[in-house]
Amino acid sequence: MKRLNCILVAVALMVGGTAVGQINIPGGGISKPPLPPAKKCKTCGKTVNDCQYKGHHPAQKKCKTCGKVVNDCQYKGKHPKAPEVYDVAFTCNAYDADLYIDGEYVGVANTTWTLNDGSHKVKVVADYYDDYSTTIKVKKNKTAFDLTLSEKTDAESQYMLAVNYYEGRSGFPQNYSEAVKRYLNAANKGHAEAQNWAGYCYHYGHGVTKDDTEAVNWFYKAAEQGNASAQRRLGLCYENGWGVTQNYTEAVKWLRKAAEQGHAGAQCNLGWCYEKGHGVTQSYTEAVNWYRKAAEQGHATAQNNLGYCYHHGNGVTQSYTEAVYWYRKAAEQDDARAQCNLGYCYDKGNGVTQSYTEAVMWYRKAAEQGNAHAQNNLGICYDEGNGVTQSYTEAVNWYRKAAEQGNANAQNNLGLCYESGHGVTKDYTEAVNWYRKAAEQGYANAQCNLAFCYEKGQGVTKSYDEAAKWYRKSAEQGFARAQNNLGWFYYNGYGVTQSYTEAVKWLRKAAEQKYAAAQCTLGYCYEKGLGVTKSETEAVKWYRKSAEQGDAAAQQNMGVCYELGIGVKKDKQEAVKWYRKAAEQGNSKAKDNLRRLGY
């Protein structure tokens, strides 16, 4: 084996000008050579022995986006994609709504705005909807965002949204179904006014199937919270038996709660209960008290009702002037009943200077709103030519409008038109048809007219029995003409057992109402002692009352009494005077008597 010759090489390193590693060989001897420097890891810089990988680190993965090793990359090699940008159209169903995106005002809500994908805070400020906020996610193909407030679920927001749908305001289409959804959302959260309106919708069937039981349920919830409007409506339900058993006492209880909170409608309704004695002791004074409270708040119905109290002296000193004052306030608010009542005051000159022209103006305003009383009254104006050019055709037009609404007076008047052929072709059958409609409603005038048709066989088969039946119905209501006719039926035994006593009874009732024909016949009963003790003095008294009203038969009879001295001293001149009055009306007996006396 060959030996290797070792050559010792001394290496001097200079550090800071000082040789380091110089080998001194004392005594000229040979020293042990130094160890070579430790080998370092090229990756981590540690000595190989200290490197956990002993200088053989595994290959480092680099980030493909930034080129750094993954550990040095802030995203660890997973950089996010750059956000894509989309145009988002914001549409808001409120006018003049301001749009804020991520806290910055960007313009009106009905606009298109460019947004990065991801989450964005959106805020809308609009009438009734201050501080409406939501967060939207913008994604690919997202082109529109509807800024309706349906996403806001608190009770007040749901209620206000319901109001807008119900009334069709602030840019919302009127939609009862959408309104009810929101009312119920708010109502179920305890919102009293929403509960009240949910009841209202159920009561009228707005957006839901009409259901008064459900209406009462919601009215009660709101009323228990002190909502005055709901208390009033609950009271009305009890008053009318809507969804509950009718109970005037309960009605008054709830109406009073609302009225004492100053609710004008409830005050008016409570006044009505006092006027009619519903659930309380009847009192016009209390009625006026509550009507006045409501009327002074501008409640039109209460103003009309207070006017009516003044008109008739109910609970107050009668005053047409005060009646007109309150009627006018209500009429100027387009209250149809007040317009009709004010027209009536002008028609009759009550509290104002009489004026058919003004009467017609106010009747027409009410009639055009469908008020049946005004339609009938306007028909009468056309019938008689009061304030308008006389026209039976127009009279029939307005009578018919009122009659078809069930107005008994108009039905009777329309019957008269068919009976007389005024404005229509004469038709007794149609006359009877309309008389009957009114008569069956208890209208005394129509009952008397229907009886007359049966008496004469006009439009119906002649029947004294039916005639007597309807005369009696009318007479028992105090209708003087029917009392006279029923008295005549008893006098002659038509449809009843003949009885002068019963005849006198009914004739007297009519005579005391100044019905001229009855006064004349009653006078004759006294003259002849029919059903009463004979009394020529009483006979003359009743003849005179009738004659002074222009009854020709009574005038003829007065002439006889003066000529023959029946109940009065004979007086030829007085006899001639009365004969002449009767003759001028065509009375044939009076004419014969005048000829006999040489006149």
**Structural domains in the chain plus CATH codes:** 85-152 (2.60.40.1120), 154-261 (1.25.40.10), 262-333 (1.25.40.10)
Separation of CA 342 from chain center: 23
Give pLDDT tens digits for 113-124. Answer: 778 888 888 887
pLDDT of residue 13: 31
Token duo for residue 53 = 């990988």
Give pLDDT tens digits for 147-158. Answer: 554 435 678 878
For the entire predicted model, the pTM comes to: 0.73
For 564-572, the CB contacts below 8 A with 24+ separation are: 566/527, 566/536, 566/539, 566/540, 567/527, 567/536, 567/537, 567/538, 567/539, 567/540, 568/540, 572/597
What value, to the nearest 5°, has the Cα angle with vertex 403 and ends 375 and 469? 130
**DSSP H stretches of helix in 406-498:** 408-420, 428-439, 444-456, 464-475, 480-492
What's the farthest any 2 CA atoms get from each other in the chain? 206
pLDDT of residue 66: 82
Token duo for residue 494 = 């038509």
CB-CB contact of 108 with 98 (8 Å): yes
Bridging pattern class, strands 104-108 and 111-116 = unpaired
Determine the residue type at 196: N
DSSP state at residue 333: T
pLDDT of residue 103: 84
Q: How far apart are the first and last CA of the chain?
A: 200
> In 3-state terms, the chain is what percent helix, strand and coil (to 5)?
55, 10, 40
Per-residue pLDDT of the chain (599 residues; tens, 9 = 90+): 333 333 333 333 333 343 334 434 444 445 556 667 778 887 788 888 888 888 777 777 888 888 887 778 888 878 877 777 777 777 665 556 778 888 888 777 667 777 888 888 888 776 544 456 777 777 765 555 655 544 356 788 789 889 988 998 877 789 999 999 999 999 999 999 999 999 999 999 999 999 999 999 999 999 999 999 999 999 999 999 999 999 999 999 999 999 999 999 999 999 999 999 999 999 999 999 999 999 999 999 999 999 999 999 999 999 999 999 999 999 999 999 999 999 999 999 999 999 999 999 999 999 999 999 999 999 999 999 999 999 999 999 999 999 999 999 999 999 999 999 999 999 999 999 999 999 999 999 999 999 999 999 999 999 999 999 999 999 999 999 999 999 999 999 999 999 999 999 999 999 999 999 999 999 999 999 999 999 999 999 999 999 999 999 999 999 999 999 999 999 999 999 999 999 999 999 999 999 999 99
pLDDT of residue 172: 79
CB-CB contact of 127 with 95 (8 Å): yes
pLDDT of residue 25: 40
Separation of CA 141 from chain center: 47
CB-CB contact of 159 with 182 (8 Å): yes
Determine the residue type at 376: N
